[in-house]
């Protein structure tokens, strides 16, 4: 009698082997496809071409990048290493000013990123990017 009841219990057990197979295949799929590579990047804002509000020039610190790779701030050509100090000085004079990097279309993107980086180190939390009008 006891033996028979145990036999019934054996039959009522659910076979989990196919589910296990599926779970393992899913696990292997997700392990293989997961990439933990996170891009490291800097945030920039690109003002849209539609005029939203005309900003007065006095509220803007404009940094020009010329096609020759020179950087111009307030009508002076400065070295890349001087950008940070110059922006700090300009920000001290106008604390609420927005910083706009106006790049010539032929200038290197690497230089552009370095200038934006220097501006961010100088304390500008929002740096905008603009293209020089052709």
Q: List residues near other proteins by CB under 8 A.
A: 16, 20, 23-24, 26-27, 30-31, 33-44, 46, 48-49, 65, 103-114, 116-117, 120-121, 129-131
> Which among 116, 119, 117 is positioned nearest to 129, based on CA atoms?
116
Local structure of 103: helix, strand or coil = strand
Minimal distance, residue 52 CB to other proteins, in Å: 13
For residues 12 and 14, give the distance between their C-alpha atoms in angstroms, rounded to a whole number.
6
Minimal distance, residue 29 CB to other proteins, in Å: 9
Minimal distance, residue 114 CB to other proteins, in Å: 6
Closer CB to other proteins, 20 or 77, in the complex: 20
For residues 117 and 44, give the distance between their C-alpha atoms in angstroms, rounded to a whole number.
10
Of all helices (H) and strands (E), which one includes residue 60? strand 60-65
Closer CB to other proteins, 73 or 116, in the complex: 116
């Amino acid at each position: 009698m006891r033996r028979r009841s145990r036999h019934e219990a054996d039959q009522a057990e659910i076979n989990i082997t196919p589910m296990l197979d599926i779970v393992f295949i899913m696990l292997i799929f997700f392990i293989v496809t997961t990439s933990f590579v996170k891009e490291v990047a800097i945030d920039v804002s690109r003002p849209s071409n539609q005029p939203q509000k005309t900003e007065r020039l006095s509220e803007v610190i404009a940094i020009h990048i010329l096609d020759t790779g020179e950087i111009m701030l307030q009508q002076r050509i400065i070295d890349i290493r001087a950008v940070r100090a110059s922006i700090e000085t300009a920000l001290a004079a106008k604390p609420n000013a927005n910083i706009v990097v106006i790049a010539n279309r032929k200038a290197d993107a690497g230089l552009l990123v370095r200038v934006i980086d220097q501006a961010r180190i100088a304390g500008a939390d929002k740096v905008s990017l603009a293209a020089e009008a052709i």
